Amino acid sequence: MATKARKQEVVGELKDFFKDGKVVIVTDLTGLSVAEFTGFRRSLRKENAKLRVAKNTLVKRAIGETEFKKLETLAKGPSGFVVGYDDPAQPAKVVSDYLKQIKKGSVRGAVLEGKALNADDVKALASLPSKEVLLAGIMGGLDSGAQGIAGLLGAVIRDIAYMVEEVAKKKEGVTE
C-alpha cells in the first residue's frame, strides 16, 4: 500500500495532468494488453492528449473544485483518464476509433467545459470535424464574401465606365 507521502505526490502529479485540459474522457480499459495500451498512448500523443490510469480516490482529490468536478460520477471501477489539451473533438475521435479497432474497453463519459457528457455524447463529439477543418470552412466563407464584394465593386466600376463611354459617344454624335 502506498504511503501518505506517495499518495500526496500522485495527487500533485494528477493536478498537473488535469491542469490546462479542455476535455477529460473517462474510459474502462479492462482487458487491454501492454502493447495495446502503448499503442493507445502513442495515438493520443499525436493529438496533444495524454492517458493516465489512477485510483479514483486520488483523482477525486486532485480535481477538487475544478471544472472537472463532475468526473466523480464517472470514476467508478477501473478508470483511464484521457485529457485533451487542444481540440476537444480529436481525443474523443482517437479514443472512439482505437477502442472500436481493438474491440476492447469502453467509454464511460467525459467532462467538457464543466459539463458531464455520457458515452453517446462522446461519440457525437468524436464525429465533429477537427478545429482546423472548421477554421478552414470559416476562412473559405470569409474569402468568398470578400470575393463577392470585390466582384460587386468591379461591376459598379465597369458600369460607370460604360456609362461614361456612352455619354462620350452621345456628345461626339451631338457635336458632329
Q: What is the mean pLDDT of each run of 10 residues along the chain (176 residues)?
A: 82 86 87 87 89 87 82 82 87 88 86 84 80 74 69 74 77 64
pLDDT digits (tens, 9 = 90+) for 133-163: 777 777 776 666 667 677 777 777 777 777 7
79 contact partners, CB below 8 Å, separation of at least 6: 26, 27, 28, 53, 54, 56, 59, 108
79: amino acid identity, one letter: S
Can you point out the beta strands (E) in 40-114? Answer: 49-53, 80-84, 106-112
Read off the C-alpha cell for 26: 473517462
Q: Just give the CATH number of 4-128.
A: 3.30.70.1730
Q: How far apart are CA 167 and CA 173, in angstroms?
A: 10
- The residue extents of the domains of the chain are 4-128, 129-176
Q: Are 79 and 59 in contact (CB under 8 A)?
A: yes
Q: What's the pLDDT at 115?
A: 84
Q: Whose grid coordinates read 502529479?
A: 13
Count of CA atoms in the C-beta half-sphere (13 A) of 24: 30
Q: What is the pLDDT of residue 101?
A: 87
